[in-house]
Chain A
Amino acid sequence: MTDLHLFWVIQLAPLLAFLLIQVLPKTINKVAPAIGMAFSLTAALASLNLSFAHSQGAGLPVEFSRQWLVVADYAVWPNIPVPHYTLSVGFLLDPLNLLMITLVTTISFFVQLFSFYYMNEDPSRPRYFGFLSFFSFSMTGLVLSNNLLQTFLFWELVGLTSYLLIGFWFEKKSAATAARKAFVINRLADLGFYLGIILLFLLFGTLGFATLKADALRNVLGHGTLTLIGLLIFCGVMGKSAQFPFHVWLPDAMEGPTPVSALIHSATMVAAGVFLLARAFDLFSASHTTLLVILSIGAITALMSATLAAIQRDIKRILAYSTVSQLGLMVMAIGAGSAESGMFHLSTHAYFKSLLFLTSGAFIHRFHTNDIWEIADRGGKKDAVALGCLAFGLLSLSGVPPFAGFFSKDLILEVLKHHGGIFFYGVAVLVSFLTAYYSFRLFFVIALSKIGHEVRAHHESLTLKISRALPLFSLAALSLITGFTGHAFHLNMELLITTVILVVAGGALAYSQFKDPAAAEAALRGNQGFIFKILERKFFMDDAYDFLVKKVGLALGRWLNAFDRAVINSLMVNQTSFSVMRLGRVVSRLQNGLLQDYLAWAVGIGILIVFCFL
């Protein structure tokens, strides 16, 4: 099979699964998971095939492109490098998205497998697997596309599936609201992206990744314009990758089914922003101002959400904030000028974070609660498979050597140390420390608590057991292996020591606080400190959005609506018709039925007219 065939397989297999699941009658919807898994396995195998064919970057990049839409066959904007404006569609494969596509398809397969277990009892499974397949379709499209507009297209589709899956249990009001919030905030961020694309298209004339080279851009566009476009497109990244100040949707997005969080809100979709940063890196690196902004935003996000992760009780929220924080680290790395390190952390993070989420899903599915203390209370530590995998994931997350997280995080620290300046390096170190702290906190709470009301696992069939354990084990293995795939990594002793010290310090702090989780919980409840309050209110970000939407946006809408009803509808329209009617009533008073009045008018006016002619 040629590359193009493989692309089509990877791209269309999930879509086909989606369509099949939609088309098949309801009576045989038991096969929906099978369809979803079969097609995602196909896609995964195809992408593995692709990555073996091009191992070590042989024969890359490969591009297939086709004209999609002629916008104008003349230069809309003066002094433009191209004579006509054409949008195209196509595939572009380079080492960057080869890595990404493998990651997306494999995790997608594992998550589908795990979902078979997780969603076993849900009556609307077909819808779930359909959406999941549709997500895979959109995500592969995003990764494979060869230009910004196509990326944007799938970017939005990915956002849509995220919306649909967060709101999967739409009967719950909180889920529906969270879905809407995610979509609207992403939309807000995407406006910047959209505008950036349009500006770039207008001023540069082409959107293909292959043509977006830093030198070419600098030749055509000024520094200010480049910065503007870069920041606008980064705006979209901030939305999708949940960077400050658009991060607020991600913790709420945990209302969706947990495998969805594993796939979309940790490994793939939220990583799409970082992926885009790396993909169109020249666009950002063409202006050092852009890079500085990216670096700062990443730093703020990483630090802020790491602190927030440290106080959460909901296991998924801990992981969500941790995801935001790790994404912040990746963005920082790219902002510091190293797309490779960001992407490397992205790939390792994808595996261990989806592992963590699936583990949390295993807990939640068995114990029916999200609260870590309650999980512990109901016998969380008796679930050996889940606890083991949790430990694997957390070790990787906190960067313990030789787990994958260690290598990638070290690389980022190194990059930041050399290119980011001491301040950002410090932030990253602090974030690593906090990461270790909240990871160990999570682990200690579950592992060290006493079991109160134990919930026994009900009997599960062998298929279910496999579909539960297989993804967990595979991802655990992957989160161990992937660290060594990072090329050209030389062990830096200084950093190794720093990392180990950070992990040990974080672990020790967590142990000192949570060696008796019950007491710690009591202390947590009793804590009324100022800082704690701020953390509990998530730095008032949600309140700020609430204010903006309710007090500014909706108030403006209310005002305009009142204007529409009162001024335009009543005053301008109805009053016009009323005054016509009123005028009619006045004029009809002339017709009073008195014959002589009519005559007097007629004769009088007639005479006056005659006088005019005399």
Chain B
Amino acid sequence: MSAAQSLSSYLLISAALFSIGVFGLLSRRNLVAILISLELILNSASLNFVAFNKFSLVDKALGQVFAIFIIALAAAEVCIGLSLILLLHRKKDSINVDEARELRG
């Protein structure tokens, strides 16, 4: 069976995407970059859904539907995230995540 037709290769790709996303999430200071990393993570999830839709069928189209949901949610998330970033930029004149630490104990 070719690699393109095996579930585990897709899961592996998704895992790699997810890990890269987490890496970016943890290492970057720029809020936009963090948002970008989040997109990667979401993508890894939707990739998983679609892969399971194909190889481990529960319902004929359920995985795709969820992938659509994820895309929609990603849009909403970016929407809110970007406006928050803009707000922060306006307030602090910076989009560095380390600057936003008013809630420290």
Contacts and interface: CB of A to CB of B under 8 A. Distances in A.
**Which 4 residue pairs across A and B have the least CB separation, nearest first?**
A593-B101, A593-B104, A588-B105, A591-B105
Interface string B11-35: 0000000000010011100000000
A453 to B, nearest CB: 86
B103 interface: yes
A590 B101 CA distance: 12
A599 B34 CA distance: 12
Contacts of B27: 596
20 contacts: A588-B105, A590-B105, A591-B103, A591-B104, A591-B105, A592-B104, A592-B105, A593-B100, A593-B101, A593-B102, A594-B98, A594-B101, A595-B97, A595-B101, A596-B25, A596-B27, A596-B97, A599-B25, A600-B26, A603-B26
Nearest to A603: B22
Interface string B85-105: 000000000000110111111
Contacts of A599: 25-26
A582 to B, nearest CB: 14
Contacts of B97: 594-596
A589 interface: yes
Interface string A585-614: 000111111111001100100000000000
Interface centre among B97, B102, B104, by most chain A C-beta atoms within 10 angstroms, is B104
Nearest to B31: A595
Interface of A: 588-596, 599-600, 603
Given A594-B98, A595-B97, A589 B26 contact: no
A599 B25 CA distance: 8
Nearest to B103: A593
A600 B101 CA distance: 16
A130 to B, nearest CB: 69
A589 B105 contact: yes
Nearest to B101: A593
Interface string B47-86: 0000000000000000000000000000000000000000
Contacts of B98: 594, 596
B25 A592 contact: no
B105 A596 contact: no
Contacts of B102: 593
A590 B105 CA distance: 8
B87 to A, nearest CB: 15
B77 to A, nearest CB: 16
Given A600-B26, A603-B22, A595 B104 contact: no
Interface centre among A589, A590, A594, by most chain B C-beta atoms within 10 angstroms, is A594
Contacts of A595: 97, 100-101
Contacts of B104: 591-594
A595 B22 CA distance: 13
